[in-house]
């Protein structure tokens, strides 16, 4: 039996508070629910999905280095770092496998500071505005990309 393909699902600041954080914007699914949904969909697609979250920019950078070194595909919701973290962008630019940017809300339908993403230009693609389903759509998109 061939080994499952690893995928890292990385989450930036405040996403660990999903479920209680602004549910009108981000929905009622908890972070634990997001983890479960990603693991479940990942398993259906033949992925070993590892979901992580941090409020720390440096930790996200280190995880992107780990993904680059291990040729591991990434689904990332950089949260507020999306809009201004050149450090994260530079780390993501080193990717050696597909990287999909996801957002729960649709940042383009919100405040103007959310209309800029410093990540999008180096991502394989972006999925936004479908709630927690954005992550599951990203995993499906990954499964159809060449390794
Ligand atoms: C977000 C959108 C960002 O603008 C915001 O800072 C977040 C979450 C989303 O998933 O909709 O923290 O990335």
The phi and psi torsions of 20 (rounded to 5 degrees) equal -105, -20
CA 83 to chain centre: 14
Q: How do residues 64-80 score in pLDDT, each as one tens digit?
A: 999 999 999 999 999 99
User: Is the minimum distance from the CB of 11 to ligand 1 under 6 angstroms?
Assistant: no
Whether the model pTM is above 0.95: yes
User: Is the minimum distance from the CB of 55 to ligand 1 under 6 angstroms?
Assistant: no
**Residue of 19, 23, 80, 134 to test ligand 1 pocket, by largest number of atoms within 8 Å of CB:** 80
- Digit-by-digit pLDDT tens for the chain (147 residues) are 568 899 999 999 999 999 999 999 999 999 999 999 999 999 999 999 999 999 999 999 999 999 999 999 999 999 999 999 999 999 999 999 999 999 999 999 999 999 999 999 999 999 999 999 999 999 999 999 987
Could you give the 3-state DSSP secondary structure of residue 10?
Answer: strand
**Active site amino acids:** 26, 103
User: Is the minimum distance from the CB of 133 to ligand 1 under 6 angstroms?
Assistant: no
Q: How do residues 27-46 score in pLDDT, each as one tens digit?
A: 999 999 999 999 999 999 99
């Amino acid at each position: 039996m061939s080994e499952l393909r690893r995928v890292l699902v990385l989450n930036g600041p405040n996403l660990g508070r999903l479920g209680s954080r602004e549910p009108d914007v981000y929905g009622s699914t908890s972070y634990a629910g997001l983890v479960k949904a990603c693991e479940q969909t990942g398993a259906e697609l033949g992925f070993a999905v590892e979901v992580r979250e941090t409020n720390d920019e440096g930790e996200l950078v280190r995880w992107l280095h780990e993904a680059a070194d291990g040729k591991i595909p990434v689904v990332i919701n950089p949260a507020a770092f999306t809009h201004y973290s050149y450090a994260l962008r530079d780390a993501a630019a080193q990717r050696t496998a597909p990287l999909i940017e996801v957002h729960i809300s649709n940042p383009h339908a919100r405040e103007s500071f959310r209309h800029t993403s410093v990540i999008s230009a180096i991502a394989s693609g972006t999925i936004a505005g479908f709630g927690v389903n954005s992550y599951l759509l990203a995993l499906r998109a990954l499964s159809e990309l060449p390794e």
